[in-house]
Amino acid sequence: MNSTLLINNLSNPAFLFFLLGIIAVRLKSDLEIPSNSAKFISLYLLFSIGFKGGQELAHESITLDVIIAMLFGMFISFIIPLYTFFIGKRFTSVENAAAIAASYGSVSAVTFVTAASYLEFQHLHWHGHMVAVMALMEFPAIITGLLLYAIYQNQRQEQIAYKKHIQHALTNGSVLLIVGSLLIGYFSNPQQAEGIKPFTNDLFKGFLAIFLLYMGIESGKKLDTFFKNGWFPILFAIFIPLLNGAFFTYVAHWITPDSANRFMFGILAASASYIAVPAAMQLAIPKANAGLYLPMALTLSFPINITIGMTLYYQIAQL
């Protein structure tokens, strides 16, 4: 791996703000970001990346390659929960295994956004249809996790209720916002869209840094209870994303000739959801322990991906 790329990632202001959040909690500081403000910033990030992706997509033709890329993304989101569920079931309950499987099969929009900034730093252009791929990868993992839970709990009487859970996955606010922003960006008049470009582009990295500070604070609060679960969740949260990202970055060589898109496939396969999935699991499987699967995705997998992972996937994508 190129050590310069790793150092660049470790010195990224966004990542350093994430570390600052964790340090603030360990020092028992009163540093806080109001949850309403954090929610607004997360909505902004989803809106911005969706709108910019729609603008990019408007300049592309919906070709067979684009359709194949979308189908490949959905396949990744379906296949990862299948084997991560059975791995998770070895060290925890069916409820927790289903939530972990859904988390690691789904995607992190913030990791995707950080990866987009990383590519800009490398002077590489990624294609707008990858935003559509990300949006399409949210719900297959959630649905797969819920179905695996239903099968292994053998609760026939809840089959009708799961129609509601599937509908919730499809209409989840994060999914709806990013898909909606993508479509609005796609259909917007280019001249009028320029009017909000300072908001969607110039402010983006600053809002990302503040949001990651909030994520660091939230992660730091959950560290103590998380480490009581033993070593297996820790090893899972470190190595499964790296294996997923490296493998699917390599497989993406058969899907797209573009190295930036291959890198993005690796990031999507490696990232774990800590926004959409926890919201869905709280509704669908309330017995699942958020103190387990949320720190796995947020406190371990997220920083691993934006430091070691991005460097690794970038090198594989360049092969």
Say how far apart CA 90 and CA 177 lie, in whole Å.
36
Instruction: Return the pLDDT at 1.
Output: 45
pLDDT at 295 over 90: no
Q: Which domains does the chain have, with CATH numbers?
A: 34-317 (1.20.1530.20)
Which residues have C-beta within 8 Å of that of residue 77, sequence separation ≥ 6? 105, 106, 107, 136, 137, 138, 140, 141, 144
The amino acid sitting at 181 is S
Across all residues in the chain, what is the average pLDDT?
84
Q: What is the pTM of this model?
A: 0.76
* pLDDT tens string 179-211: 788 889 888 888 888 888 888 878 888 888 888
The packing angle between helices 173-187 and 138-153, to 10°, is 150
Residue range 9-33, pLDDT digits in tens:
667 787 788 889 889 998 999 999 8
